[in-house]
């Protein structure tokens, strides 16, 4: 299992600071969700963890190895990213798209091995994508497509997966199915999940830990139930929030002034 450590991490674009002096230790086999208002720096933070952005200062390490020092192939074998708006090319089958996750292992110019194909088949089965394996990706519904994108990440066989708003555009059932699937991977396989979510109720129900980010800085960091019930959460979102207990689960309700 691999944990994630951020030390004094800052990311700037020009003179603007998108992330400022963030230090976090995310334990292996846990789920950490970053929440915060629009423009808080959530996407920048997770993209930097995944190696898509280089920090202006500070560092990101996974399993004691700096992400900045990894080659592209090493990084792809270490951390997988599910972006908010994945590029899904038309004319490709679901099987071939998921199989892209194995390129870091066999390379661009060598065919996949028997082991590579076995892993792809296993991912299709786990995500109930078997019946879509020969379908053109363009014919999939939103929920099917999101499961396929997650399948590509799973096919990378990493112990850390980073997700930026993975349930955007999904209906309630597909949101729950995808999050339950990730939760089972954390419990059964020791996967480390770092995600961003807008839905505070779902963030609190599925994550072990919530990090509240605002203007690029960590405002609050702690167990999900503590952060959800903090007055700081409502303050940073600039609105009245009530937390209601429904069968033991915290439900965050926005209240009109």
Helix 142-155 crosses helix 172-189 at what angle (to 10 degrees)? 20
Task: Give residue 245's Cα distance to chain centre.
Answer: 26
pLDDT on residue 101: 94
pTM of the model: 0.92
Residues of the chain with pLDDT under 70: 1
List, in sequence order, every residue forming a beta bridge with 55; answer none if it has no partner: none
| Distances from the Cα of 12 to the Cα of 57, 159, 243, 244, angstroms | 9, 28, 35, 38
pLDDT on residue 116: 93
pLDDT on residue 41: 95
- The full set of domain ranges for the chain reads 1-78+159-257, 85-157
| Number of Cβ atoms within 10 Å of the Cβ of 57 | 12
Q: Measure the CA angle with vertex 133, ends 132 and 139; round to 5°.
A: 50
| Distances from the Cα of 143 to the Cα of 40, 47, 129, 207, angstroms | 27, 23, 11, 21
Q: How far apart are CA 240 and CA 161, in angstroms?
A: 33
* Parallel/antiparallel/unpaired status of strands 31-35 and 209-214: parallel
- Contact criterion met (CB below 8 Å) for 146 and 102: no
Q: How far apart are CA 86 and CA 187, in angstroms?
A: 26
14-59 per-position pLDDT tens digit: 989 999 999 999 999 999 999 999 999 999 999 999 999 999 999 9
Domain 1-78+159-257: give its CATH superfamily. Answer: P-loop containing nucleotide triphosphate hydrolases (3.40.50.300)
Element (H, E) at 3: none
């Amino acid at each position: 299992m691999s944990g994630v450590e951020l030390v004094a991490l800052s990311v700037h674009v020009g003179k603007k600071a998108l992330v400022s002096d963030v230090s976090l230790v995310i334990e292996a086999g846990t789920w950490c969700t970053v929440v915060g208002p629009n423009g808080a720096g959530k996407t920048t933070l997770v993209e930097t963890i995944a190696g898509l952005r280089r920090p202006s200062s500070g560092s990101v390490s996974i399993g004691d190895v700096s992400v900045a020092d990894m080659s592209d192939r090493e990084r792809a074998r270490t951390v997988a990213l599910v972006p908010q708006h994945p590029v899904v090319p038309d004319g490709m089958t679901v099987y071939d798209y998921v199989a892209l996750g194995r390129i870091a292992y066999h390379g661009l110019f060598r065919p996949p091995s028997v082991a590579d194909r076995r892993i792809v088949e296993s991912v299709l089965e786990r995500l109930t994508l078997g019946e879509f394996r020969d379908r053109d990706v363009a014919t999939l519904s939103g929920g099917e497509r999101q499961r396929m994108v997650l399948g590509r990440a799973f096919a990378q066989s990493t112990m850390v997966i980073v997700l930026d708003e993975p349930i955007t555009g999904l209906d309630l059932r597909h949101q729950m199915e995808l999050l339950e699937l990730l939760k089972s991977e954390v419990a059964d396989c020791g996967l480390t999940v770092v995600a961003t979510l807008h839905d505070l109720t779902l963030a609190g129900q599925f994550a072990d830990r919530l990090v509240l980010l605002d203007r690029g800085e960590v405002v609050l960091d702690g167990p999900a139930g503590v952060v959800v019930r903090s007055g700081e959460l409502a303050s940073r979102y600039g609105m009245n929030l009530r937390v209601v207990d429904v069968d033991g689960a915290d439900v965050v309700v926005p209240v009109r002034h």
